[in-house]
């Protein structure tokens, strides 16, 4: 399984994905320079990504904590999510995300 992640220079990378890992962990393990300063505790918003519109509705809705954190993130759009709050599963094989400013 895999995800596709576009870096801040616009280069798309294919990353191996593991069930039950967060998308942030998959991006970090794949070697992209994601900050993720709090380590996935939903306390920093430096794992901010933009989810491809085709995938947005396939993800569970963000919880209140995530929404609150995103309020303080840079350049938030309707496709913004915190990648540490998205748990990968096989239904997300091929998920496309883009690193947001402030996450690298």
Per CB under 6 A, the list member of 69, 92, 95, 100 interacting with ligand FES is 69
The Cβ of residue 82 has, within 10 Å, a number of other Cβ atoms equal to 29
Q: Report angle CA 14, 28, 70 to the nearest 5 degrees.
A: 100
- Tell me if 3 sits within 8 A of 95, measured CB to CB: yes
Checking DSSP bridges between strand 2-6 and strand 80-82, what pairing results, if any? unpaired
Site membership for ligand FES, residue 45 (CB under 6 A): yes
Work out whether 51 is an interface residue with ligand FES (CB under 6 A). Answer: no
Binding range to ligand FES, per CB under 6 A, among 6-14, 32-40, 55-63, 87-95: 32-40
Of 94 and 102, nearer to ligand FES (C-beta) is 102
23 interacts with ligand FES by CB under 6 A: no
């Amino acid at each position: 399984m895999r995800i596709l992640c576009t870096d801040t220079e616009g280069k798309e990378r294919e990353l191996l994905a593991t069930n039950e890992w967060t998308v942030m962990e998959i991006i970090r393990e794949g070697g992209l320079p994601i900050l993720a300063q709090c380590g996935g505790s939903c306390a920093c918003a430096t794992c901010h990504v933009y989810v491809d519109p085709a995938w947005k509705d396939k993800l569970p809705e963000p919880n209140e904590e995530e929404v609150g954190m995103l309020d303080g993130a840079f350049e938030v759009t309707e496709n913004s999510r915190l990648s540490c709050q998205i748990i990968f599963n096989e239904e997300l094989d091929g998920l496309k995300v883009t690193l947001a400013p402030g996450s690298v």
